Structures are given as C-alpha cells and as structure tokens.
Amino acid sequence: MNSRLGVSLIFGAAVLAAAATAAFAQTTRNFVEIAGILWQHSEYIGAMDFSPDRTRLVTVSRDETVRVWAYPSEEPLLVLTGHEGWIWSVDYAPDGSRIVTSSRDRTVRIWDAETGENVLTIVTAPDENGRSAVPSAAEYSPDGTRILVAYYDNTARIFDAVTGALLVSLDGHEAIVWTAIYTHDGSRVITTSYDSTARIWDAETGEELSLLQHDSLVTVAVISPDGQFVATGSADATARLWHIASGAAIGTFEGHSQEVRALAFSGDGRRLITTSNDFTSRIWNVSTGENVAILRVNTTETVSAAYSDDGAFIVVASRIGEMSLWNGVTGARIARMPGHTFSVNEISFDLENQWVVTAGGDGYVLMWDISPFIE
C-alpha cells in the first residue's frame, strides 16, 4: 500500500465538516485547517491507496464499494461493485493498471483501474465445511506479477496476478494470519499472526526462513526504508526490530503498557513511531532503542501514525478521530487536527510535506494544510 500522496493532488477548499466549523472559526496556529472534505462513503472507510502516478485515490469501505477519485471531481470516477461484504484492503498494481481488494465475502478481486471491470476473482478451494477462506489483506508483488493474500485459515498464499492460479502456499502459522507484506525487492514475504509470531518466507519456494517470536498476537509489520530490517508490533505491548536476511533479533522497544497498534519509520529509518492502546504514541531511536519522546493523547487508544518524508512531522490519530500534528524530532505537539469523528485508519503526507490526507471510520476523506507550520 502506498504511503505518500503526490504533489499533483492539490485540492481546493470545500465545505467544512459541520462538527469542525466552530473549532476552525478560531484563526490560530493551534489548529491545522481542513483544506477540503474531499470525498465520502456511506460507511466506514477501512483503507485507501494512491495510484503510482499520484493522480488518483482509491478507497474501500464497509458499504461494499470500491471508489476511485480524482481532483477536481467531487464525484467518484469509478464505483466498483461486486463484493458482498466489508472490504478490508486495497492496493494499486505497480503500473497503475489494476487494483486488488480483499473482503469479508471470502473473495479477492482484481479490477481494471480505468474501466472498473472485475477482471479476476480469487477464491480458495472449499474446506471440509464447504467454505472458502476469508482473506484479511492482499497486495501486489513489487513487479506486479503476483498477488499476496493473508487468510483467516492460518495461511498466506501467492497467486498469479493474471490467471489467479495458486503458486505458493505459506503454511506454518497456528492462528489467523493478519498481514502479509513483500520485502522491497520481492524476494521475501513477512507475515504476522495471532499465534504470537511473525515469519519470514522465501517468496519463490514458500520455505519458512525465520520465526520472529513475540509473547502475544502480532498484528503489524513495517519494513525499514533501506529494506534491511522489519519492525513488528504486538499485543505484548512491545515493538521489536529484526534483521530480514538472518532473522536475528536486533532489539525490543519496551515502554507501552498495552497493545502496539501501528508502526512507522521516519524517511531516513533512524526513528520509529509506535501507537498503542495505552493512549500514547512513542518515538524511538532505532539504533539505540531509546524512547526519545512520549506523545500523550489522554482520551483513547492511538491507532494510526505517519511520518512526513523529511521526518519533520508526525501525525497521530486515535480511535475516536482525535488527531494532532507533532514535531517528528522532539515529539512536541504542534497543533490539533479536529475534523474526523471516528477512527482514522489511513494517514498520508504529500511528497513536499505540505499536505496530509486522512481516511476515517466516519466515511470521510479529508485533506489538511500543514504549510503554515513549516519554518
């Protein structure tokens, strides 16, 4: 899933959210202003992704639709229908020609990104109860030839992106596989599972290369910008750093008192942000393991976070939609970002670090202007 919005997506102001109008009436640097309410689903938005050329945004929702958007249109360019359940994940193909989605309806679907045609549907073979596996996430390989899918049946599988043929099955987990991601070069796959492990696999053969042990379920993994390391987050209240090539444990980031929900590296890979159910986020020095700063929300769990490319800013969001802009080095709060009213699930900076785009459980995609805070 792409994590940056391109500079070509420069949106004009739109009607402000009614719930946020009073807050923004205070013309002050204490708040980041909404540059526009971009687009809306009728229900919870679970994921979004930007096309490789940065001109389009795709969102998926509990309303069972996939929507493709482009400025300046206020209406979706495409509404892709066919799923019959909550859509969990979305990913553009590296060349932008296709979109892959996974859903609670037990299907993975591939769509033509220009026409919206459902060109391929992937369903696993039925189990002994006559049911296909439920996918939890799906993404393209870096070369676009394969689809990697994590499943509730304790496996991950790799399929041919054109034919849908099963190529590799990654078997070994003893509980739900929550996420599955490719390494930057496509040679490895990393999975996280409710069996308290993450695992590293050979993407060609399906051989398990390394087992990365936590003390409780593992729900998130993020690869460092240089591709050498992976950070994992767990309900054991820790994040851990591992060397991908060897599987060796490099260090443990300890300090949270509850589940670690999300992770993000700074652009240079020197810092890591973690969010947690303990109402805090923490900035860590990746080399030393030092907890550089604690970002306190105080009202509810922090569920998502993102670094600007230059590392100057961090945006952290909570389960109830509370968001703030923070200094990416010191951890000082710069400004609050009132606007969303429910969990913010996706956060993305533009390449010039002047805009932030967020998607939330309230069904809105919002854009924020942070340029006044650049010194």
Q: Is 356 helix (H, G, I), strand (E, B) or coil?
A: strand
Confidence of residue 181 (pLDDT cuts 50, 70, 90): very high
Long-range contacts of 78-86 (CB under 8 A, 24+ apart): 78/115, 78/116, 79/116, 80/111, 80/116, 80/118, 82/109, 82/118, 82/121, 83/107, 83/109, 86/44, 86/46, 86/61, 86/62
Top pLDDT among 91 and 29 is at: 91
pLDDT value of position 300 = 85
**Nearest to residue 290, comparing CAs of 275, 313, 270?**
270
pLDDT at 188 over 60: yes
Average pLDDT over residues 206-210: 98
Q: Fill in the DSSP letter of residue 166.
A: E
pLDDT value of position 30 = 80
Residue with tokens 């010194």: 375
Confidence of residue 29 (pLDDT cuts 50, 70, 90): low
CA distance 305 to 346: 8
* Residue range 66-88, pLDDT digits in tens: 999 997 788 999 999 999 999 99
Confidence of residue 25 (pLDDT cuts 50, 70, 90): very low
- Which structure tokens are listed for 210? 């390394």
**Nearest to residue 237, comparing CAs of 198, 276, 265?**
276
Q: Which residues pair with 132 in a beta bridge?
A: none
CA distance 255 to 261: 14
pLDDT at 40 over 70: yes
Nearest 5 degrees, angle CA 65-CA 69-CA 75?
Answer: 85
Average pLDDT over residues 318-341: 93
pLDDT value of position 196 = 98
C-alpha to C-alpha distances, 3 to 29, 308, 309, 333, 347, nearest whole angstrom: 26, 10, 10, 22, 8
* Residue range 229-239, pLDDT digits in tens: 999 999 999 99
The region of weakest confidence among 22-26, 200-204, 223-227, 352-356 is 22-26
What is the reported pTM?
0.91
Mean pLDDT of the chain: 90
* Residue range 140-169, pLDDT digits in tens: 999 999 999 999 999 999 999 999 999 999
- Is the Cα torsion angle 85, 320, 317, 362 positive or negative in sign? positive
* Residue range 241-260, pLDDT digits in tens: 999 999 999 999 999 999 99
CA distance 257 to 317: 18
CA distance 365 to 344: 10
- Which structure tokens are listed for 20? 């946020």
* Residue range 275-315, pLDDT digits in tens: 999 999 999 999 999 999 999 876 789 999 999 999 999 99
